[in-house]
Amino acid sequence: MSTFVINRLLQAFLVLLVMSVLVFVGIYLVGDPISMLVSPEATDLERDAVRESFGLDRPIFVQYVTFLGSALQGDFGRSFLTGEPALQLILERMPATVELVGFAMFFSVVIGVPLGIIAGLRPEATYSKVIMTGSIFGFSLPTFWVGMVLIMLFAVQLGILPTSGRGETVQVGAIELSILTLDGLRHLILPALTLGLTKASLIIRVTRAATREIQAMDYIKFARAKGLSSSRILRVHLLKNVLIPIITVAGLEFGQALAFAVVTETVFSWPGMGKLLIDSILTLDRPVVVAYVLIMVLFLVLLNLVIDLLYMVIDPSSREKVRD
Amino acid sequence: MTPGQTTTSAPLLRVQNLKTHFHTRQGAVKAVDGVDLELAPGEILGLVGESGSGKSITGFSILGLIDPPGRIVDGNIEFDGRDLLAMKERELRSLRGNDIAVVFQDPSMTLNPVLRVDTQMIEAVRAHEKVSIEAARQRARDVLVKVGIPSPDERLRCYPFELSGGMRQRIAIAIALLNRPRLIIADEPTTALDVSIQGQIIHEVRSLCRETGTALIWVTHDLAVIAGLADRIAVMYAGRIVETGETDEVIHRPMHPYTRGLIESVPSGSTRGARLHQIEGMTPSLPELGEGCAFRDRCHRATDQCRVTPDVTLLGDTREFRCWHPETGGEQ
Ligand SMILES: Nc1ncnc2c1ncn2[C@@H]1O[C@H](COP(=O)(O)OP(=O)(O)OP(=O)(O)O)[C@@H](O)[C@H]1O
Ligand code: SF4
Ligand SMILES: [Mg+2]
């Protein structure tokens, strides 16, 4: 068990190392940030001086090793643009995104799992067909379009929900949260709904497929033959098995959404990490981009680890494979 | 139990003209098409027939566990004088696992893989009786001992995947015994196991049923299994019972050509290892079945008369068969 976790962390470290090289080289190839760092009227002499002060004059290999050295000590360099530490910039924005994505995922699971089970238990029923048709829409409509429609409906037409920013926040420790104030919650609803709609559709489909598969199993029939109530069969025998694929999908989707909440954050001017990434790429703010990607990789690796651990809680036979 | 007793005591289960059909795109599949069965308390009945003859569907019909597109379209099922087909789902549920229990064929699939054995046993007790978890666990433990499971406390804490196939099937049998049912329907419960374990389990189940007076329907396609186990045999073909009678009678003096074919395909001591005599042809595909004896395409005795469905012929008190030209000879 602990060897399993240690192995996974070692793997994670390796992945991080490879990713850091790729990102470093990638962003090096994208463009020379010097034009962003000095005014257009600067002389060549001034340019070289700036270049030297940022260490940009040295060969890429040397730059990388320097970066790696300080990154291992937790220093990802400073933003070219603002001079703030890159890591701090990202961490400051992180709560907003985590909050948005977390809320969206919560919504999609709470909506998606029951609807998926309903549709899976009675696939021929009209309401099941309505659910499935709805999920196809939720699935295929582009996020920005859904966001626009929701804004038009709830903000412009009905005027009941705000459309941009986080609203009033509350400081909890070092973190600012919207979800704890009524105003913040109202700001959260539309972007979370936008992001959650696609996710909910996906969860519906996964849940329905799993429900149908499990429902046909002998052990469900055996449970009925034991004279169990249908609610116990549903809650204990069916749900526990259906949760296994749902955890995988919801976990991966959570990671995806976190790393790429860009579209939703842009539409709703949500001050999260997605916007930060886009801005940093546009301004060739190397340290921020590199730090962002590495943090996301680290995050996704950890997320996968958590999914695997959750798996073991639910599916006892997966514990077996880990023991050796 | 002597033959006389079996027929005179009031039946525990009486199935009459049971028809269970599946409505598919290709038409109605008449999986069970007019089955009659009768079972006395404590009696062991072997239900024999090849794959697809409708044995399992007969069992599920008795339990009220037929799912769409399947439906019981006709007939009568009485258990202990109560009409099962008229019962509400709630009444049926209180019967299932309590008065009528089942054991399925595949032990690897009948236990829920994500629940511990104790969970699955305790819930089966508490679905029918308001007893404490501890009392239910104690009963589970006792029954595990009864079906020959060593160190039951340890087994109770296991997940199904941690147990061997034979062990899982014993647990499934133990679950069936938990609430001291009056009838157990065992649907080929040993086919997935190797031969030595098969013999053990059959022996144990038989003595447990004798001990508790539980009636048993043992479903199988293997006549050899039944021969040493059952009081009576019912032979099923294409959704119908084509012959029933005392085990010895049926085996030594089969009346229906299909029964005879089955008997001849069982390896006896001297022919073991030799190539088995197989009944030629295949089970007809059910939607294609029309009027007439369903066996006639494979029957060496078939005549034009067999285009008409044969009626039940009674022979003595306990023998019944459906055939126009029975194998008359008792001379083997
Ligand atoms: N869900 C279903 N839809 C359509 N036909 C079905 C369905 N379930 C069973 N049948 C049909 O009912 C017939 C009888 O099936 P049943 O399972 O009772 O056979 P069996 O005698 O138990 O065979 P086996 O020895 O293989 O278990 C088969 O021909 C099968 O095709
Ligand atoms: S009724 Fe005719 S076809 Fe059917 S088993 Fe008897 S002899 Fe054969
Ligand atoms: Mg069967």
DSSP codes joined into one string, A209-226: HHHHHHHTSHHHHHHHHT
Q: Which residue of chain B is at minimal alpha-carbon distance from A222?
A: B110
All structural domains of chain A with their residue ranges: 88-286
From the CA of A132, how many Å to the nearest CA of chain B? Answer: 21
- The set of residues, in sequence order, having a beta carbon less than 8 Å from that of B19 and lying 6+ positions away, is B30, B32, B33, B34, B35, B72, B73, B74, B75
Residue type, A58: R
Q: How confident is the model at residue B101 (pLDDT cuts 50, 70, 90)?
A: very high
Residues 59-118 of A with CB under 8 A from B: none
- Among the partner-chain residues A219, A232, A244, the one whose CB lies closest to the CB of B110 is A219
* pLDDT exceeds cutoff 60 at B7: no
By the 8 A CB rule, do B50 and B238 touch?
A: no
* pLDDT exceeds cutoff 50 at B1: no
Q: Is B175 on the interface with A (CB under 8 A)?
A: yes
Is B115 in contact with A226 (Cβ distance < 8 A)? no
Task: Identify which of A256, A124, A104, A60 has the alpha carbon closest to the alpha carbon of residue A195.
Answer: A104
Residue type, B197: I
Average pLDDT, chain B: 84
Is B97 in contact with A228 (Cβ distance < 8 A)? yes
All structural domains of chain B with their residue ranges: 108-180
Residues 192-211 of A with CB under 8 A from B: none
Phi and psi at residue B232, to the nearest 5°: -135, 155
Contact list in B for residue A229 (CB cut-off 8 A) is 93, 127
Structure confidence at residue B331 (pLDDT): 38
Average pLDDT for B277-281: 59
Structure confidence at residue A164 (pLDDT): 80
Residue type, B109: M
Whole-angstrom distance between the N-terminal and C-terminal Cα of chain B? 27
Is A227 in contact with B115 (Cβ distance < 8 A)? no
Residue type, A209: A
By three-state DSSP, how is residue A261 classified? Answer: coil
Range B26-42 burial, b when 16+ CB lie within 10 A, else e: eebbbbbbbbbbbbbbb
- ipTM (interface pTM): 0.86
DSSP string, B210-232: HHHT-EEEEEES-HHHHHTT-SE
- The set of residues, in sequence order, having a beta carbon less than 8 Å from that of B75 and lying 6+ positions away, is B15, B16, B17, B18, B19, B34, B35, B85
Strands B100-103 and B183-187: parallel
Give pLDDT tens digits along chain A (324 positions): 678 778 878 888 888 888 888 888 887 777 777 777 777 777 788 778 877 877 777 888 888 888 888 888 888 888 888 888 888 888 888 888 888 999 999 999 999 999 999 999 988 889 999 999 999 888 888 888 888 888 888 888 888 888 887 877 777 777 777 777 788 888 888 899 989 998 999 999 999 999 999 998 999 999 999 999 999 999 999 999 999 899 889 988 888 888 778 888 888 888 888 888 888 888 888 888 888 888 888 888 888 888 888 888 888 777 766 554
Q: Is A315 on the interface with B (CB under 8 A)?
A: yes
Structure confidence at residue A9 (pLDDT): 81
Taken as a whole, chain A contains a residue count of: 324
By the 8 A CB rule, do A184 and A170 touch?
A: yes
Structure confidence at residue B330 (pLDDT): 41
Long-range contacts of B155-158 (CB under 8 A, 24+ apart): B155/B117, B156/B116, B156/B117, B156/B118, B156/B121, B157/B116, B157/B117, B157/B118, B158/B116, B158/B117
Whole-angstrom distance between the N-terminal and C-terminal Cα of chain A? 8
Atom from ligand 1 closest to the CA of residue B67: 1
Q: How many angstroms separate the CA atoms of B74 and B66, rounded?
A: 13
Instruction: Tell me the pLDDT tens digit for each residue of A287-304.
Output: 888 888 888 888 888 888
- The set of residues, in sequence order, having a beta carbon less than 8 Å from that of B190 and lying 6+ positions away, is B169, B197, B198, B201, B202, B225
Average pLDDT, chain A: 85
Q: Is B112 on the interface with A (CB under 8 A)?
A: yes
Ligand 3 center to residue B49 CA distance, Å?
10
Average pLDDT for B62-74: 90
Q: Which residues line ligand 1 (CB under 6 A)?
A: B 22, 24, 29, 31, 49, 51-57, 69-70, 221, 286
Instruction: Tell me the pLDDT tens digit for each residue of A116-172.
Output: 999 999 888 899 999 999 998 888 888 888 888 888 888 888 888 888 878 777 777
Structurally, at CATH architecture level, domain A88-286 sits in Orthogonal Bundle (1.10)
Is B93 in contact with A229 (Cβ distance < 8 A)? yes
Structure confidence at residue A225 (pLDDT): 94
Give the Cα-Cα-Cα angle B78, B79, B84 (nearest 5 degrees). Answer: 60
Average pLDDT for B167-185: 91
Structure confidence at residue B46 (pLDDT): 92
Structure confidence at residue B69 (pLDDT): 87
Q: How many angstroms separate the CA atoms of B332 and B322, rounded?
A: 21
Ligand 1 center to residue B29 CA distance, Å?
9
Measured CA to CA in angstroms, residue A65 lies from A33, A49, A92, A296 at distances of 19, 22, 27, 21
CA B1, B2, B8, B11 torsion-angle sign: positive
Q: Which residue has the higher pLDDT, B74 or A77?
A: B74
Ligand 1 center to residue B33 CA distance, Å?
12
